[in-house]
Amino acid sequence: MKEKVVLAYSGGLDTTAIIPWLKENFDYEVICVCVDCGQGNELDGLNERAKLSGATKLYIEDIVDEFCENYVVPCVQAHAVYENKYLLGTSMARPAIVKRLVEIARKEGAAAICHGATGKGNDQIRFELGIKALAPDLKIIAPWRSPLWKLDSRESEIEYCHAHGIDLPFAADSSYSRDRNIWHISHEGLELEDPANEPNYDHLLVLGVTPEKAPDEGEYVSLSFEKGVPVAINGETMKVSDIIRKLNQIGGKHGIGIIDIVENRVVGMKSRGVYETPGGTILYEAHQQLEELILDRDCYRTKAEMGALLAQVIYEGKWFTPLCDAIRAFITSTQEYVTGEVKFKLYKGNIIKAGTTSPYSLYNESLASFTTGDLYDHHDADGFINLFGLSTKVRAMKMLEVEKKNQ
């Protein structure tokens, strides 16, 4: 019997060409696995395409709810943002995909897992670190880094497919390179390859419109959280995936969550892309507004540091590591009382606060107001400031002493 290889299959030109390439160069039986994280109509017709290309079998695995609850929610709770802008849409989907690829590989008794990520990007790292962590005994095949891979353009891939009897409606014309799931859609290529160019948003956007084209009337929305998990929109209870879908629709309409970023890839180069994350942007902002009321000062500050670290760890493909586990355990512990409702207005790309409430709010009106309450005496600040500023004063006295000696 031939050895089996599990191919992370999207149905695009790259992974379609990889099927006959694997059979030709390794004599593998190819098992395609398409992991559905919310790609939408991109999954249409995949079964026929995979079989026509020479695959023995195609799994289409719906993990949307698992992705939202076990990967998206921890990032929302952590406020994990890479380089101050990127909400990790692709980064946090990869470990979810890898987990299912390994499960199918075990089920099929496969000897290897193959992915179609290029040798320039981050995804090769995310896929392979995940596989090494979950299945260190499995071989990993990365065609784009193999000396046997001679296909260096869409035209050559199309020609290769035709030579192997695969006649599919792939076009050689240029388009954006996109990655989509329920959380976001990313765009790279074409005019975006030159940072001097303004994005052609009319051609580019999929999930929404620019702020200029958003309605002239704002829209009020309320989000409810329980222990840091979103549970309802406008009082209507929903599972997390449905909340994200609804917020994508509302946020896209109002021009929310469009970012243009030049980011630092793990491999060392810079890349420019545009990300649409309307629902995710709203969730991050609403969750943070709620935490402002609930977390104490030291916890809030430390959590911000841990959130930034978690973003870097996930971006670098290190989800299945002790460090990632430890950071997420800390984040989870901070969410025990992050319960309440956040109201805001969406208007032309802006998320405007409209009131936040929580039974665990640490905001004390008596303390915060200018009137003197029972818990705070203005005179208490004298001793505090003297101690808090002692090192500053001692240094200033020493510098003044040195200055006098040198005169």
Q: How many CB atoms lie within 10 A of CB 79?
A: 20
The pLDDT score that the predictor gives to residue 366 is 66
Please determine, for residue 281, whether its predicted confidence score (pLDDT) is greater than 70: yes
Identify which of 320, 292, 289 has the alpha carbon closest to the alpha carbon of residue 70: 320
CATH for the 180-295+338-357 domain, from 3.40.50.970, 3.90.1260.10, 3.30.70.2740, 3.40.50.2000: 3.90.1260.10
The pairing of beta strand 4-8 with beta strand 112-114:
parallel
Average pLDDT, the chain: 95
How far apart (Å, rounded) are the C-alpha atoms in residues 289 and 357?
10
DSSP 8-state class, residue 260: E
Q: Which residues pair with 26 in a beta bridge?
A: none
Q: Calculate helix-pair angle for 154-163, 13-26, nearest 10 degrees.
A: 50
**Which DSSP state fits 198?**
P
Quote the CA–CA distance of 39 and 243 in Å, as a whole number.
16
CB-count burial class (<10 Å; 0-12, 13-18, 19+) for 150 = exposed
d(CA 378, CA 37): 55
Residue ranges in 27-113 assigned as alpha helix (H): 46-52, 64-67, 73-78, 93-108
Report domain extents, the chain: 4-74+87-163, 180-295+338-357
The reported pLDDT for the residue numbered 372 is: 57
197 vs 216: CA distance, rounded Å:
28
Domain 4-74+87-163 matches domain 180-295+338-357 at the CATH topology level? no
- Positions marked active-site: 14, 94, 123, 177
> How are strands ordered across the β-sheet holding 229-233?
236-237, 229-233, 219-226, 340-347, 350-357
pLDDT of residue 170: 74
Sheet holding 139-141, edge to edge: 57-62, 29-36, 4-8, 112-114, 139-141
H helices then E strands: how many in the chain? 15, 14
Supply the DSSP string of 132-162, one letter for each residue.
HHH-TTSEEE-GGGSTT----SHHHHHHHHH
Alpha-helix residue ranges (DSSP H) falling in 4-116: 13-26, 46-52, 64-67, 73-78, 93-108
Q: What is the CATH number of domain 4-74+87-163?
A: 3.40.50.620
* Residue 369 confidence class, pLDDT cut points 50, 70, 90: low
Phi, psi (rounded to 5 degrees) for 138: -80, 140
Spatial CB neighbours of 305, under 8 Å, sequence gap ≥ 6: none
Question: Is residue 202 predicted with pLDDT exceeding 90?
Answer: yes
Using a 10 angstrom Cβ sphere, with 0-12 exposed, 13-18 middle and 19 or more buried, the burial of residue 258 is buried
Distance of CA 327 to the CA centre of its chain: 17
What is the arithmetic mean of pLDDT over 123-148? Answer: 98
Q: Is residue 149 a contact partner of residue 116, using CB atoms and an 8 Å limit?
A: no
Percentage, residues of the chain above pLDDT 70: 97
pLDDT of residue 175: 80
- Average pLDDT of 89-116? 98
| Alpha-carbon gap, residue 16 to 56, rounded angstroms | 13
Q: What are the pLDDT digits (tens) for 8-48?
A: 999 889 999 999 999 999 999 999 999 999 998 878 889 88
Question: What are the tens digits of pLDDT across the range 73-82?
Answer: 999 999 999 9
Q: How far apart are CA 240 and CA 2, in angstroms?
A: 42
